[in-house]
Structure 1
Amino acid sequence: MRPLAPGVFQLLGRPPHMINAYLVEDVLVDAGTPAARRRISRQLRGQRLSAHVVTHAHPDHFGSSHAVCDEFDLPLWAGQRDIQAIETATPATAPGRLPKLLSHMKMPDPHPVTKGLKEGDEVAGFTVLDVPGHSPGHIALWRDHDGVLICGDVFFRLLGVSGPPDFLTWDREQNRESMRRLADLRPKLVLFGHGRPLRDPDRLRRLVG
């Protein structure tokens, strides 16, 4: 695992930074695709773990959640409006034909959600922020004292910093509002669901205008 900030580590991915998961103190944040199960489990063995948080109910973020929670006997926490999607493995889809076709692909194993997270809850020293749009119950994690933001897929950083693709986003206007909200925090370290960490407090604000 790669240290990024006090108590915050990025799990090693394959390829690096494509689909990210993080260990925050003793909480696993996101769990990649089903294919990442062995790699994630290997990195977590020997770590002190208390819970697993999913930023949003998409199969590249809760893909290995069932396996990891079972192996390490962890409770699963997620945004309240994404609970049903995780427990039934039926993510909310964007409007249009392509998203509908994608929804018929094989989904990860469902898993019961022990706790529905809401605005203001605390997770391992981070505050939960309700930032819907990419999914109905998308959450971010914010640590105010040192400006660390785990933004899930509200932003991507692959070819550059951007919003998520429209065809993967349940409500792009809501996501745009969530982008503005997170940009206004001027985070000193942004950790993405997809892409390398960013250390530039003004980069997100320049994007949203």
Structure 2
Amino acid sequence: MIEIAKNVYQLPLLPRNSINCYVVDDLLIDAGIRASASKILKSIKSHKINAHLLTHAHADHQGSSSLICERLSIPLWTSEKEKNNAESGRVVDDYPNPRHFVARFQQLNWAGKGVKVSQTLKEGDEVGSFTVIETPGHSIGHISFFRESDRVLIAGDALVNMNLLTTLVGLNTPPALFTTDTYQMKESVCKLNKLNPSVICFGHGPVLHNDKGQLEKLVERMGC
């Protein structure tokens, strides 16, 4: 695990930070793909985890959730609108084209089994030292997590910091191929910018220290 801030750790699950999950306080946020379970469990073995949270229930975030929750005997928490996908394991149903070959590949090879959701989260809920921020668009019920004291943002896939095809680093919005509502996604990015985050942690790409106004520049290009 890589320490990002106080009680915030990044777990890079694939090379070049192409898929990440995070430990914040006593919580595990996201769980990579199905093959990520052993790496996650090894990384957190000396860290007490009391709950598992999803930013959203896509295959590269919930892939190891069932095994992690079962092995650690911990509950799963999601937003209300992500609950159905998380419990059913049908994680590409809200893609623009669930029959696309990439979507079918992810469902078949990356997605994990469904897990009962023990608690649903909404805007303003406190989870550890973070606050839930509703950031729909990439998925129907996507949520992010923000800590006001040091302005650390766990963005999930509301933003990405790499090109998912080339793995070149760069701040952007996620591809339309995997995004339910691009207009709503834009609104969520503008909402996150108003928080003025100093550190941004992504599902895809390296952690970004926003000291050069990178997010503000992206928002300007988007026309917020």
TM category, shorter: over 0.9
8 Å contact kept, 1:149–1:191: yes
8 Å contact kept, 1:93–1:103: no
Q: Deviations over 1:20-62 (max 9, x none)?
A: 0111011001000001011111111121111000100100000
Q: Note the aligned Cα RMSD (angstroms).
A: 1.5
8 Å contact kept, 2:13–2:32: no
Q: Tell me the residue number matched to 1:90.
A: 90
Paired residue total? 209
**In structure 2, C-alpha distance between the alignment counterparts of 1:140 and 1:54, rounded to whole Å:** 9
- The residue type paired with residue 153 of structure 1 is D
Q: Deviations over 1:131-176 (max 9, x none)?
A: 1001111000000111100000011101310000001001111001
How far off its partner does 1:95 sit?
2.4
**Worse-matched range after superposition: 25-34 or 95-104:** 95-104
**Worse-matched range after superposition: 54-63 or 106-115:** 106-115
Q: Tell me the residue number matched to 1:154.
A: 158
8 Å contact kept, 1:94–1:171: no
Q: Deviations over 1:86-142 (max 9, x none)?
A: 100112333247648724731321111100100111111100011100111100000
**In structure 2, C-alpha distance between the alignment counterparts of 1:90 and 1:100, rounded to whole Å:** 15
**In structure 1, C-alpha distance between the alignment counterparts of 2:121 and 2:98, rounded to whole Å:** 31
Give matches, 1:11-22, under 5 Å.
11-22=11-22
Name which of 151, 168, 186 aligns with 2:178.
168
SS at match of 2:61: coil
- The residue type paired with residue 79 of structure 2 is G
Q: Tell me the residue number matched to 1:140.
A: 144
Structure 1: runs of 5+ lacking an equivalent? none
Q: Tell me the residue number matched to 2:34.
A: 34
Q: Tell me the residue number matched to 1:24.
A: 24
Structure 2: runs of 5+ lacking an equivalent? 163-167
Name which of 106, 113, 117 aligns with 1:109.
113
SS at match of 2:68: helix
8 Å contact kept, 1:50–1:74: yes
**In structure 2, C-alpha distance between the alignment counterparts of 1:134 and 1:96, rounded to whole Å:** 13
Change in 2 beyond 3 A, CA 1:140/1:102:
same
**In structure 2, C-alpha distance between the alignment counterparts of 1:198 and 1:20, rounded to whole Å:** 13
8 Å contact kept, 1:184–1:205: no
**In structure 1, C-alpha distance between the alignment counterparts of 2:183 and 2:206, rounded to whole Å:** 25
- The structure in which a higher percent of residues are helix is 2
**Worse-matched range after superposition: 23-32 or 91-100:** 91-100
Q: Tell me the residue number matched to 1:74.
A: 74
Q: Tell me the residue number matched to 2:215.
A: 204
Q: Percent identity?
A: 38
TM-score by length of 1: 0.95
Matched, 1:119 2:129: no
